[in-house]
């Protein structure tokens, strides 16, 4: 059983920054592909960013150049640094962990990010 707990969401003005954290419990954190997804009301959940066990990163087009995903294996934690935030970034952000080629797939509870003046 793997538990993911997100933190760091909140209200921020356009152009501001937030850093989200996702703390993972359980074993084998280093073999997971970790990702951040977001979902706004009335819209489907979309990939924001993911990072592989080897450190390769991928970003959605809408956040490329503004967001950075990273992981601290020693702390079993993945981060999402969000800069130059826009109102369109407003959503619930979810942490995800997958074990490649295993079918294991875990989700956090989500954290609300609201970008508004």
- State how far the Cα of 24 lies from the Cα of 114, in Å rounded to an integer: 24
Range with lowest mean pLDDT among 1-10, 28-37, 50-59, 84-93: 28-37
Residue 117, pLDDT above cutoff 90 = yes
In Å, the largest CA–CA distance within the chain is 44
pLDDT in tens, 46-79: 999 999 999 999 999 999 999 999 999 889 999 9
In sequence order, the β-bridge partners of residue 96 are 35, 107
**Predicted confidence band at 100 (pLDDT cuts at 50, 70, 90)?**
confident
The pLDDT value recorded for residue 73 is 86
Residue 29, pLDDT above cutoff 80 = no
Question: Do β-strands 91-98 and 111-115 pair in parallel, antiparallel, or remain unpaired?
Answer: antiparallel
- State how far the Cα of 10 lies from the Cα of 99, in Å rounded to an integer: 29
**Predicted confidence band at 103 (pLDDT cuts at 50, 70, 90)?**
confident
């Amino acid at each position: 059983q793997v538990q993911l707990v997100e933190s760091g969401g909140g209200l921020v003005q356009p152009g501001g920054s937030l850093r989200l954290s996702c703390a993972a419990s359980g074993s084998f954190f280093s073999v997971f592909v970790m990702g951040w997804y977001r979902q706004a009301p009335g819209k489907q959940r979309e990939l924001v960013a993911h990072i592989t066990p080897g450190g390769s990163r991928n970003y959605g087009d809408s956040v490329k150049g503004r967001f950075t995903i990273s992981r601290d294996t020693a702390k079993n934690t993945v981060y999402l640094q969000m800069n130059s935030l826009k109102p369109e970034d407003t959503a619930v952000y979810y942490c995800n962990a997958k074990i490649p080629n295993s079918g294991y797939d875990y989700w956090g509870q989500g954290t609300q990010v609201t970008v508004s003046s």
